[in-house]
Amino acid sequence: MELIERVEILENGQLILVLASGGSPSYQHIYREAAEVQWNNNLKAFTSPVPREWSHSGWFHHIVKIAKNCNINLTINNQTSWVNISDDVKKEILSGKNT
């Protein structure tokens, strides 16, 4: 189980999920899923591309799903911080909606 320490939207619009553990170099292989999800070792985070058709909540759930396909179970808790995330997007993420 990997705790998501921070969910953040960067200035360029990318969504990143920063892992409390710092992750593992092997997470870079997530690109093999060909799902536009990347592991950024410098940020210690899974990243989305800049959203085009999908919302940030859609990308959040997509990253979690693709990570699970790679046997990486991502989770959030009450200590997860939300940076540059509107209340509406946070609600969508927490409710499981991909709008």
- Is there a contact between 12 and 3 (Cβ–Cβ < 8 Å)? no
- Looking at residue 86, its pLDDT comes to 96
* Chain segment 20-46, per-residue pLDDT in tens: 999 999 999 999 999 999 999 999 999
Block residue for tokens 């995330």: 85
Tokens 């939300």 sit on residue: 82
SS (H, E, C) 35-66: CCCEEECCCCEEECCCCCCCCHHHHHHHHHHH
For each of the domains in the chain, give its residue range(s) and CATH number, in order of start.
2-95 (2.20.20.40)
Query: What is the value of pTM for the model shown?
Result: 0.94
pLDDT in tens, 43-89: 999 999 998 899 999 999 999 999 999 999 999 999 999 999 999 99
CA neighbor of 54 nearest in space, from 8, 99, 7 = 99
Contact indicator for 92, 99 with CB cutoff of 8 Å:
yes
- Please report which confidence band the pLDDT of residue 99 belongs to, taking 50, 70 and 90 as the band edges: very low
